[in-house]
Structure 1
Amino acid sequence: MLLAKGTRRHRVIGYIWASLLGLVALSSFWIHDLRQIGPFSLIHLLSVYTLYNLVGGIRAAQRGKIDEHRSTMRQLFYVALIGAGAFTLLPGRDMHLVVFGQ
């Protein structure tokens, strides 16, 4: 996030990041440990949000709407990465046990 924007390096790293984020969001639909709405949970709404905004952010950049692209990608970073990371640390989750013990 601190490197120069609009460069070839930025685009390559951006496509790698977007691809991996999209892959993780898609893969979440095969995780059904926490069932709240049929086979899904509220965290799957975060996956839908992520995929929708990922496509929107990439389209904004391709159309030259750089402010919209920047805003969308920052939101994805904070909501999808940091927000989802916080969900993994909730009591009862495996990562909570790994980080905090019993």
Structure 2
Amino acid sequence: MPTNPFTLVHLFTILPAIAIGTFLMLSHKGNSFHRLLGKIYMVLMLITGVATLFMEAFIGPKLFGHFGFIHLFSVLTLYSVPQAYFAAKRHDVKEHRGAMVGLYVGGIIIAGIFAFMPGRTMYGLLFG
């Protein structure tokens, strides 16, 4: 199990976010349950986005000896969540949907694929 506390925070927030995000993508939109789960999902994603900024990149070139290309997903998350929230508040369904789909595809699916590449923490946990 990883010992970096930010890695643990990331794991404990991204795992429920994956489940909730998948449910939200596949379920009926706009009802009170969707709004409640959406708020929980957004909080989880914000926490995971911040936590990942404190996790050092180990693969590829680094900026300031810490940030790698994988951190672009952190930036995507920290941009998309407020964008989606405020779009929902304005009842701008098109912008909200675009931000949420982009966050799910980029922040969960694509970043998740990268997380399981050789040399990354999740790869090491699963394949030792």
- Normalising by structure 2, report the TM-score: 0.72
Shift of 1:4: 1.8
**Residue 55 of structure 2: aligned partner:** 31
**Residue 9 of structure 1: aligned partner:** 33
Identity %: 34
Structure 1 residue 71 and structure 2 residue 95: aligned? no
Give 5+ residue unaligned stretches, structure 1. Answer: none
Give 5+ residue unaligned stretches, structure 2. Answer: 1-24
**Residue 22 of structure 1: aligned partner:** 46
- Normalising by structure 1, report the TM-score: 0.89
**Residue 82 of structure 2: aligned partner:** 55
Output the CA distance in 1 between the equivalents of 2:124 and 2:46: 27
More relative contact order, 1 or 2 (CA 8 Å, 6+ apart): 2
Provide the aligned length of Structure 1 versus Structure 2.
101
Higher mean displacement: 12-21 or 32-41: 32-41
RMSD of aligned alpha carbons: 1.6
- Which residue of 103, 110, 114 maps to 1:83? 110
